[in-house]
Structure 1
């Protein structure tokens, strides 16, 4: 929760600190043969207009892949929904 220093009002972080609509960048790290394709599909399905930019990197040993993707979001609720959907996939190791 975020507390506004001037009013003391509390709100969720993504509701308080981001103006909507907005471009939002996520980084997702995981593994699997279709991991990148599936994560991009998820982001396209649950954002407003889909992925506008993405970059994929693999670790030197090829075990992990990271996706950095920018999507358009309309609200804090949409950001939280994206994170919830990402968390449902057991191949995801880390996201921010």
Structure 2
């Protein structure tokens, strides 16, 4: 799925979510009005409750943790440089 919005747009959406919730909007209505999923709105409002007004604005998705160590990543970059013959293939 391709993101519809830029990162700065999401920062504005986070602020709007908090303001709309304070104005007694339901999560479902917020998500419909902003064109976002209910899950996204729910996570944003949870962060807002936990961290206050600046929480959702500063929140950044971290992504999955790397599964490879730094040494493994370095080896992954270096191995192709050794060439096909080193790895048992005819040049």
TM-score normalized by structure 2? Answer: 0.28
Structure ID, larger Rg:
2
Which has the larger share of helix?
A: 2
The TM-score with structure 1 as length reference comes to 0.27
Higher relative contact order at CA 8 Å, sep ≥6: structure 1 or structure 2?
Answer: 1
